[in-house]
Structure 1
Amino acid sequence: MANSTEKTSQTPIDNLGAVNAIQSRFPSSYTILFGLIIFMAALTWIVPAGQFDLIYNEELARDVPVPGTYQLVEANHQGISDILMAPIKGFYDPDSGVANAIDVALFVLIIGGFLGVVTSTGSINTGIARAMSAMKGHEIWMIPIMMALFAVGGTTYGMAAETLAFYILIIPVMIAVGYDSITGVAIILLGAGIGVLGSTINPFSTIIASNAAGIPFTDGLNLRLVILVLSWLICTAYVMWYATRVRKDPSKSIVAEQKESNQDFFLKYVADADARLTTTQKIILVAFVLTFAVMIWGVSSQGWWMAKMSVLFLGSSIVIGFIGRIGEKGFTDAFVDGARDLLGVALIIGIARGIGVVMDAGHITDTILNTAAEAVKGYSSVVFINVIYWIEVLLSFFVPSTSGLAVLSMPIMAPLADFSSVGRELVVTAFQSACGIVNLITPTSAVVVGGLAIGRVSYEKWLRFVWPLLLILSILMMVILSIGAISLT
């Protein structure tokens, strides 16, 4: 195995930045996100400040906007100090005491430490090598299997932030079998993303949106199942086509110029092909797999979120370090080195959250929502539902949280369907489809920018990879929504 101390002296973000400086003039993720903060701050000087009245919804256990109550309020222009404070408040708002992204960032660091400890035992490296040996000649089928598993997580419980734990596991496998880092990123980001796009019982998307719209979440379920299956087939076929193309000709990889750098970085997680697992390593791998199984159980059925998941991985790190007998110094060194690898990812998450901080402080979020609601009045059913879809696409860029956007937009948008002979369930479907599409690319999402950072894929290259797929999926959504609108009229 390669010397991990030497390889981990730079974070994935650091390495990616060095490559991009040479290969492209496209700004880094940090610059893009900070530029968006500046742009939103500028909008607070242009867009009128306004807000809806709020009422507490017992079913949702939170305040929701009341339709027809939008009113202008005193402007709160965001200046230079607010711009500089936004990334800080993106982690934690000292004024309100609200923890924004600090829990996600801490989870990422602990995941890094956990993986560092497991890697130091040689278990994960050897385990990956043995898995590749068993799959030899059939590696391509790992793609649909894994994308199906992530899609199930997305459609049932909104699997998103917890996917950050899987990148360091899957990307080395993809590179080792001849694919590239984008293939690994796509398996996770597209897999879970299309699950959210075709949400069925996802409590953070479908159920919250349906409750906010005043309808049972089972309304429209059949149409969402169609969206889920077709989207999965399209995305899986696209990723398999790209992976096969890269394996046949590595120069076709969108990150071809990073091939050597990525191999140096990621293949430290893969042992030699003839490596054999010891009894201790087998026990560690069982504990490793159980950790992820417990995480999925906790999130899907026990209401766990970042704090409890962080506790799980921290506790599992200690247990695995004890089983591996790496010693106190070996444990702390491995944990800190692993966390250091993902430090850049943790930082970028807070900057991304700072965009929403500026919008909310400037009171322009409700103004944008009210303008969107006024724009859809008076259209036919087919035009109405497609306009709703694209409005939700726009809103999703500003509010990347599906649950947050559901609570914000559905009480306003859903009642408008009653005047266009469209069922409210179709508005919910348009909402979640739009969120699913946008959250595959939005730079304001910690899941997107975090996943790309771990995979050492620049935002520019991800857009180059995914834009044909976004076009296909958008056309599919518009066709399905139009058919749904016609069938309901």
Structure 2
Amino acid sequence: MNQKKFHMPTAYTILFLLLILVAAATWIIPAGSYDYVDGVPVAGTYHTVEQNPQGVGDVLKAAFSGFYDAVDVCIFILMVGGFLGVVMKTGAVDAGVGNVIRLLGGREKWLIPILMLLFGLGGTTYGMWEETMAFYPLLIPVFLAAGYDAVVGISVILLGAGAGVIASTVNPFATGIAAGFAGVSLGEGIVLRLLEWVAFEAAAIWFVMAYAAKVKKNPSKSVVGVGAGKIQVSMDQQVPFTAKRKVIMALFTLTFLIMVYAVVPFDEMGLSLPALGWWFPELSALFLVAGVVIGLIDRMSEEELVETYVAGCADLLGVAFIIGISRGITVLMNDGAITDTVLHWGEQALSGAGAISFTLLVFALYLPLTILIPSSSGLATLSIPIVAPLGKFAGVGGDLVVTAFQSASGLVNIITPTAAVVMGALALGHVPYDRWVKYVWKLILWFLLLALAFLVAGVLLG
């Protein structure tokens, strides 16, 4: 009798199972709340409230509520899809990728450290994370054409930026918010975080390059199989890189450069460059306009341009749904009034600990909290006002609390299924979640040990 082989569920099924688990938790975990002042919880004010368990109807609505909550990100993803659909129709990407591979002439491996350093710089300086979604459809075909698998393309972006986010130096969206609530400046603890960034980024680059070399030498070593990916480039049928396609690729590149510049908060980082302060609505408009301009340059008809753009949006609709569903987990926790209870348990666990024990417990506390609340800025706002004051009794400075928070948050967010970027990136590359875990778990373990070592060093040298 043939036994059916187990297949890992899709990202949607995994997220819906998590929604059910969180809803079940609202029936077991006592409901509670802190007192809030201007949206910030006040330490020591936790109290129980009326239980509000979430039922079947709440689970079904949570995904839609999450979608409403993340509508700006979802629309941005769809606009990127439409933009890429138009650019792909012109043949410029195929021609450009083919030209890049020919120019590299067997030196494609150096794209890995160069690009990972760039994404790492974005991650450590301004928390480049959700914005990376625009780069996966661009870079996955490059690495596929170079003879690697989709995992390498995903890793260059996700692990490059992720290592930077773990060791955020001046990231205003996580470190800056956390430092403000901890009562310390953004500059306090920056030396430790800089050393962290060097160590984490170096480990990530070495890990990805070693895997890429193994796959290039022996494709059977791939965790998913060479060629697995949504967008593929065939080097057997090379597309000519005409003058028109060169102009399109120049505009294509310029669009991404504008996106990166527009979201960097230069003013909050103490730099004199003018900050545009754009976020997802403005970025969505940028990709819409860029897609239309490129379509006109390619002399598409009005009907062809619209149909191509809409079809491109449809290609990334699944990723937008994943982002919405993942946000639904936080919605259920808040509606079930268990978020503050979980935080209160952490507050009790931290009380009375010594300096090293306290720091490591803070790190340990944020590991499960990040799974439940993947937003680093949201988690900082919710928890740092509670956790940071406890550090004073343990002799731990606010800067070390911030470092422990961001290290745990960044670490979890490169593997947790509740992180929309992780599940979205894997969906774009057609990489099953279990294959990603199988591939990345060793690096996660190294990151964990590095983070603990840096935190203990921070206590001893503080």
Using the size of structure 2 for normalisation, the TM-score is 0.95
Gaps of 5+ in 2: 265-274
- Does residue 341 in structure 1 map to residue 312 in structure 2? no
Q: Provide the aligned C-alpha RMSD in A.
A: 1.4
- Does residue 65 in structure 1 map to residue 41 in structure 2? yes
Q: Measure, in 2, the Cα distance between the counterparts of 1:296 and 1:273.
A: 33
Q: Measure, in 2, the Cα distance between the counterparts of 1:217 and 1:106.
A: 32
Residue of structure 2 equivalent to 1:186: 155
Residues 231, 23 of structure 1: alpha-carbon distance in 2 compared, 3 angstrom cutoff? farther
Conserved in 2, the CA contact under 8 Å of 1:130 and 1:275?
no
Residue of structure 1 equivalent to 2:174: 205
Q: Measure, in 1, the Cα distance between the counterparts of 2:394 and 2:365.
A: 16
Deviation at 1:102, TM superposition (A): 1.4
**1:325 partner SS:** coil
Conserved in 2, the CA contact under 8 Å of 1:155 and 1:202?
yes
Letter in 1 for 2:219: P
Conserved in 1, the CA contact under 8 Å of 2:30 and 2:48?
yes
> Among residues 24, 32, 35, which one is paired with 2:14 in the alignment?
32
Figure out how many residues of one structure are paired with residues of the other and give that number: 449
Map 1:249-398 → 2, pairs under 5 A: 249-256=218-225, 259=226, 262=228, 265-268=230-233, 275-300=239-264, 301-398=275-372
- Does residue 481 in structure 1 map to residue 450 in structure 2? no
What's the CA shift string for 1:30-88, capped at 9, x where partnerless? 111001111111111111111111112xxxxxx21111111111111101110110101
**1:219 partner SS:** coil
Residue of structure 1 equivalent to 2:392: 418
Letter in 2 for 1:229: V
Residue of structure 2 equivalent to 1:174: 143
Residue of structure 1 equivalent to 2:51: 75
Residues 148, 273 of structure 1: alpha-carbon distance in 2 compared, 3 angstrom cutoff? farther
Residue of structure 2 equivalent to 1:444: 418
Map 1:93-242 → 2, pairs under 5 A: 100-242=69-211
Q: Measure, in 2, the Cα distance between the counterparts of 1:157 and 1:324.
A: 35
Conserved in 1, the CA contact under 8 Å of 2:94 and 2:239?
no
Deviation at 1:158, TM superposition (A): 0.9
Residue of structure 2 equivalent to 1:467: 441
Q: Measure, in 1, the Cα distance between the counterparts of 2:288 and 2:239.
A: 28
Q: Measure, in 2, the Cα distance between the counterparts of 1:302 and 1:227.
A: 29
Deviation at 1:24, TM superposition (A): 4.3
Conserved in 1, the CA contact under 8 Å of 2:164 and 2:197?
yes
Q: Measure, in 2, the Cα distance between the counterparts of 1:91 and 1:31.
A: 16
Conserved in 1, the CA contact under 8 Å of 2:91 and 2:239?
no
Residue of structure 1 equivalent to 2:60: 84
Which one is further off, 427-436 or 441-450? 441-450
Gaps of 5+ in 1: 1-21, 57-62, 93-99
Q: Measure, in 1, the Cα distance between the counterparts of 2:5 and 2:235.
A: 30
Residue of structure 1 equivalent to 2:272: none
Conserved in 2, the CA contact under 8 Å of 1:196 and 1:436?
yes
What's the CA shift string for 1:437-457, capped at 9, x where partnerless? 001011112111111111111
